Amino acid sequence: METVMQTTTAKRVRSVRPVGTRAVLAELDGLQDVLALQDMLYKSPLPGQVDVLAAAETVMVVGESAAATRAIGARLLELELTTPEVTDSGLVVIDTVYDGDDLADVAELTGLSVDGVVAAHTGQIWTVAFAGFAPGFGYMVGENEALTVPRRSSPRTAVPAGSVALGGQYSAVYPRRSPGGWQLIGRTGARMWDLDRAQPALVRPGDRVQYRAVRDVVTTGASVAREPETEHHPESGVRILNPGAQSLIQDLGRRGFGPLGVSAAGALDRASLRRANRLVGNGSSVAAIETVNGGLTVEAIGDQVIAVAGAPTTLTVQPPSLVESDDDSAPGAPRTVPMATAFALLDGEVLTLGAPESGFRNYVAIRGGVDVPEVLGSRSADTMSGIGPAPLAVGQELPIGEATVSTAVGSPELQPDFPGAGVTVLDVVPGPRADWFDQEALDSLCSQEWLVTPQSNRVGMRLDGAPLQRTREGELPSEGTMAGALQIPPAGLPVLFLADHPITGGYPVIGVVCDEHLDRAAQVPLGGRIRFRFVPDSLDATTPFTTTPEEVSI
């Protein structure tokens, strides 16, 4: 009887850690267990499951709500892991020229000859374990560890697209030119990421790959050549006269593409986007203009209905007679319109947004919505991956669609208070790696005021203050992360991830800003100050399961 019990004991998730209130991190005993859990969650999604982000030793599951996430965490601890079924279908062959700059170094590191490295790389099947770093970048694990090599001590500032590389136990192909620290052993013409394909990523988690040595690179999977686009002038829309510091098209983002290396993106202040759309009678996720720090100037092409929400500012409308002359004595006078109120912008009239009195971001919704092409189901611009429409430019004309849900506009709405000259308080729950820090560091995170530096952007807010010290040495294997995560790099200064963050990260997350405070964080201007406040009650309310073997004191 004892022998039977031992042989039938199923493998399970080792532990589950919360990542804020909308995600949990399942820790596993190795990459094979990661692949098993990932495969199970793909084939049989748990109720409320939104996204699955596998990494070296963990699988992060994002839930649609706090309640769904709590249930997911409990269910993960009950799952019995089963080995994924291996089939011969879906084998992707990548033709490779083995002439990489680091090929000789890899030979020396592995004790093989150059030909031996090529034979080892081509002579085994690689499995895409997870995605990350960039869309189309798949971390592939081989059948043996013969080619396990360290990353370069000094990363390159630019690795050419198509570079075939080794890093740790993984092999990968760089889908585009980017910085990188992996060992380069060859190059391929395979297009690892192509938005013109039905499946943009050439390889996806779970796919099997074999490299094949060739003499010359042949570009494969190239997009069909297109006729040059003719200039199109919409009959109804807006013309950008001044985009300000940065203006982007945003909706509520794209979900479910984490396994391809694509973050959700979308409006940073979601409540303001929803409010602006609601006021003009649009659906809540209709595309609008997100702009920072004032300066945006648009001209109506045809009569439009517009509402501006977000940071309180002065909205000035100039009639056509004043646009060219700038003469206040000309017929018709500039007028101001209120925030969070629908108003008409007639053909030729020009709307200008002033500098915010408080806050940082505004959302300009136009009845019918900005009608630009969708990419992966969203019109949002993702500044990290380069997916979606480019930043708005002078002279650009934006067509307007028909994405209305109401025949009438909404009544004026009150807006919340926005961050001003004082300190903005953001609630956080302990992060999945809070146990990398002692009580002194946890206290320091919340006792000081953090300065938002000019290096901040939609990827993350870089904060300055007294550095936080880790209590653990070494590096953390990359694992899934999300908007709101407070990563602590070795220098000890937090980075608060925002909507365009990378889907995986290798620095410990000490805390996660509560989802309901992310809109507030998005409105803190450069030079603003932030104070964090731990709210353990919020954590307790959403995680009934045992999360980690070590308790974190708050």
- pLDDT tens for residues 95-134? 999 999 999 999 999 999 999 999 999 999 999 988 877 8
pLDDT band at 224 (very low <50, low <70, confident <90, very high): very low
Band (6; pLDDT cuts 50, 70, 90): very low
In terms of Cα–Cα distance, which of 398, 381, 356, 369 is closest to 240? 398
Confidence of residue 325 (pLDDT cuts 50, 70, 90): low
| Band of residue 220 on the pLDDT scale cut at 50, 70, 90 | low
Sheet of 91-96, strand order: 91-96, 208-213, 126-131, 138-141, 170-173, 163-167, 183-187
DSSP 154: S
Cα dihedral across residues 66, 521, 362, 459: positive or negative: negative
Going by the DSSP 8-state scheme, the letter that residue 384 receives in this structure is: T
> Three-state DSSP class for 124?
coil
Between 231 and 501, whose confidence is greater?
Answer: 501
pLDDT category of residue 331 using cuts at 50, 70 and 90: low
Region 304-312: mean pLDDT is 97
What whole-number distance in Å separates Cα of residue 321 and Cα of residue 334?
A: 10
pLDDT above 50: residue 538: no
If one compares 248 and 385, the residue with the highest pLDDT of the two is: 248
Q: Please, are residues 47 and 70 in contact by the beta-carbon 8 Å criterion?
A: no
Q: How confident is the model at residue 321 (pLDDT cuts 50, 70, 90)?
A: low
pLDDT at 539: 41
Q: How confident is the model at residue 385 (pLDDT cuts 50, 70, 90)?
A: confident
Determine the longest span between alpha carbons in the chain, in angstroms: 98
Confidence of residue 540 (pLDDT cuts 50, 70, 90): very low
- At residue 88, the pLDDT reads 53
As beta bridge partners, residue 94 has 211
pLDDT tops 90 at residue 233: no
Q: Residue 464 pLDDT more than 60?
A: yes
- Chain center to CA of 263: 3
Residue 546: is its pLDDT beyond 60? no
Residue 350 has pLDDT above 50, yes or no: yes
Considering only residues 345 and 225, tell me which one the structure prediction assigns the higher pLDDT: 345
pLDDT of residue 84: 74
Cα(first)–Cα(last) distance of the chain, in Å?
46
**The model's pTM:** 0.86
Lowest-pLDDT range of 229-233, 277-281, 379-383: 229-233
Q: Which of 37-41, 142-146, 224-228 is least confident?
A: 224-228
Close Cβ partners of 88 (under 8 Å, ≥ 6 residues apart):
none
Q: Does 340 score more than 90 pLDDT?
A: yes
- The 3 state secondary structure assigned to 48-65 is CEEEEEECCCEEEEEECC
Mean pLDDT, all residues of the chain: 89
pLDDT at residue number 205: 85
Name the pLDDT band for 504 (thresholds 50, 70, 90): confident
Beta strand 297-301 pairing with 237-242? antiparallel
Confidence check: pLDDT of 196 > 90: no
Instruction: Tell me what the mean pLDDT of segment 371-384 comes to.
Output: 94
Question: pLDDT at residue 182 above 50?
Answer: yes
Q: Angle at the Cα of 478 (from 144 to 13), degrees rounded to 5? A: 75
Determine the pLDDT at residue 78: 93
pLDDT at 511 over 60: yes
pLDDT band at residue 473 under the 50/70/90 scheme: confident
**Which pLDDT does position 89 carry in this prediction?**
53
Measured CA to CA in angstroms, residue 220 lies from 161, 165, 300 at distances of: 13, 19, 44
- For residue 541, pLDDT beyond 80: no
Which pLDDT score, from 0 to 100, does residue 1 have?
Answer: 32
Judged against a pLDDT cut of 60, whether residue 194 lies above it is answered with yes
Between 367 and 86, residue with greater pLDDT: 367
Q: What is the mean pLDDT of residues 222-242?
A: 70
| Burial of residue 32, with CB atoms counted within 10 A of its CB: 0-12 exposed, 13-18 middle, 19 or more buried | middle
Q: Is the pLDDT of residue 230 over 70?
A: no
**pLDDT, mean of residues 170-184:** 92
pLDDT computed for residue 323 by the predictor: 59
Please state, for a pLDDT cut of 90, what percent of the chain lies above it. Answer: 70
pLDDT at 227: 47
**pLDDT at position 226:** 45
Mean pLDDT within 485-505? 92
Provide the pLDDT for residue 478.
84
* Dist. CA 52–CA 45, nearest whole Å: 9
